[in-house]
């Protein structure tokens, strides 16, 4: 799948002028609220007609203002999961799910229906009315409804933003399954680094209506650059779920040579996972600390340090095959005499890794 988007649009004093390409998998449009992400995804969906622009999917021109071409929303076959579920209040869950299937023409088979219902865990909700569902259940039904319309591209506009942390943790694994099992390319709008880190392969940073940076998730999120708000800088670590420690509500994730303790995740052992560790959540020690509550103490070697900025420095540490980023004060760097090549221990509180 290849998606090309080019759009220029003016809304009052705010202007969007963005162009990007995405090559399948999950592409995150990442940026602060008000940066124009939602307008951009609405332009892709066809809900917003830009002053000028072009959208091409796999060589098929969906819209091109230069040639006066504009495919209406209902003929684009782009699924859309909105921030709020937007279920039809007069229809049961089953009919909501089946709504798009009817218009898809080719239609999805009953087996496909059963599979998506199973994947999203909504089988026991089918005869309920939308107003009787919890927020998380509604959003899962909305995702299923979009999928069952057999879309060639799935657009998701902050589908977790309206949910509390527990509900987010409940839905994220479903989104990972969706990414890994359906193979439908997804454009995912979010302002949450943790979500983007966990889901996206490609990240496009949007700021003030423009594309500020784009590239692989690890590269964009890992760089201590101006792409992200400085508070959010951190490192992306790939791992596999090793096992669960349900007695303590923990999950152990294998990342390189180390096992990381993270708060309990809804994912089976062997499930690949990406963790985002914010630099400000990582401490450094020159000797292995004793009597400390933090569960993750990773021996490693300093790779490099950034110059001091507002009294703090970012230190990159190679720990057993992973790169971890730590933000410490310039004072600590002086006191501990930190420099490239020095052996240190990176300390990460488990509770800081919560989503």
Partner 1 sequence: MALSDAEWTAVRLSLRVATVAMIFSLPLALAVAMALARGRFWGKSFLNGLVHMPLILPPVVTGFVLLLVFGRRGPIGAFLAEYLGLVFSFRWTGAALAAAIMGFPLMVRSIRLSIEAVDRKLEDAAATLGANSAWIFLTVTLPLILSGIVAGMVLSFAKAMGEFGATITFVSNIPGETQTLSLAIYSLTQVPGGDAGAMRLTVISVIVSMAALMLSELLATAVARRTVAA
Q: Which spans of this chain sit near partner 1 (rule: CB under 8 A)?
A: 45-47, 72-80, 82, 84-90, 99-100, 102-105, 129-131, 133, 138, 145-146, 149, 155
**308 within 8 A of 329, measured Cβ to Cβ:** no
CB of 82 to partner 1, least distance (A): 7
Q: Which residues contact 167 (CB under 8 A, 6 or more apart)?
A: 134, 135, 136, 139, 160
DSSP state letters, 276-317: EEEGGGEEEESS--SS-S-SEEEEEEEEEEPPPBTTEEEEEE
Q: What is each CA distance from 234 to 136, 255, 331, in whole angstroms?
A: 28, 16, 20
Strand partners, 69: 64
For residue 330, give the nearest of 313, 315, 310 by alpha carbon.
313
92 CA to centre of own chain: 30
116 CA to centre of own chain: 21
Distance CA 93, CA 237 (A): 38
Strand partners, 28: 188, 203
Angle between helices 93-103 and 110-120 (to 10 degrees): 130
CB of 272 to partner 1, least distance (A): 30
Rg value, the chain, Cα: 22
Q: Whose Cβ is closer to partner 1: residue 44's or residue 204's?
A: 44
CB of 77 to partner 1, least distance (A): 7
CB of 100 to partner 1, least distance (A): 3
CB of 85 to partner 1, least distance (A): 7
CB of 155 to partner 1, least distance (A): 8
DSSP code at position 167: H
DSSP code at position 132: G
Q: Whose Cβ is closer to partner 1: residue 60's or residue 131's?
A: 131
Q: Name the strand (E) or helix (H) holding 152.
A: none
Residue with tokens 């985002």: 276
Strand partners, 155: 80, 187
CB of 320 to partner 1, least distance (A): 45
CB of 122 to partner 1, least distance (A): 14
CB of 141 to partner 1, least distance (A): 9
Q: Whose Cβ is closer to partner 1: residue 145's or residue 280's?
A: 145
């Amino acid at each position: 799948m290849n998606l090309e988007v080019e759009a220029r649009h003016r809304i009052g004093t705010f202007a969007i002028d963005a162009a990007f390409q995405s090559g399948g998998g999950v592409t995150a449009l990442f940026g602060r609220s008000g940066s124009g992400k939602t307008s951009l995804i609405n332009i892709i969906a066809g809900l917003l007609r830009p002053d000028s622009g072009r959208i091409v999917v796999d060589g098929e021109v969906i819209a091109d203002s230069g040639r006066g071409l504009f495919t209406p929303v209902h003929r684009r076959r782009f699924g859309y999961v909105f921030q709020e579920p937007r279920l039809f209040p007069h229809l049961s869950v089953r009919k909501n799910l089946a709504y798009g299937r009817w218009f898809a023409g080719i239609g999805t088979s009953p087996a496909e229906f059963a599979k998506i219902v199973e994947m999203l865990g909504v089988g026991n909700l089918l005869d309920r009315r939308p107003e009787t569902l919890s927020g998380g259940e509604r959003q899962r039904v909305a995702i299923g409804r979009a999928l069952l319309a057999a879309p060639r591209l799935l657009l998701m506009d902050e589908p977790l933003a309206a949910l509390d942390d527990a509900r987010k943790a409940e839905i994220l694994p479903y989104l990972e399954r969706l990414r890994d099992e359906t193979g439908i390319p997804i454009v995912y709008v979010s302002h949450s680094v943790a979500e983007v880190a966990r889901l996206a392969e490609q990240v496009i940073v949007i700021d003030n209506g423009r594309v500020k940076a784009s590239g692989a998730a690890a590269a964009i999120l890992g760089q201590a650059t101006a792409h992200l708000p400085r508070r959010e800088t951190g490192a992306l670590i790939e791992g596999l779920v090793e096992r669960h420690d349900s007695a303590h509500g923990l999950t152990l994730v294998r990342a390189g040579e180390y096992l990381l303790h993270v708060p309990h995740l809804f994912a089976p052992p062997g499930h690949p996972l990406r963790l985002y560790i914010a630099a400000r959540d990582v401490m450094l020690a020159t000797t292995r600390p004793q009597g400390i509550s933090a569960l993750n103490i990773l021996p490693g070697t300093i790779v490099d340090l950034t110059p001091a900025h507002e009294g703090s420095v970012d230190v990159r540490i190679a720990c057993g095959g992973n790169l971890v980023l730590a933000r410490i004060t310039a004072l600590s760097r002086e006191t501990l005499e930190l420099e490239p090549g020095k052996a240190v221990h990176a300390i990460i509180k488990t509770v800081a890794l919560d989503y």
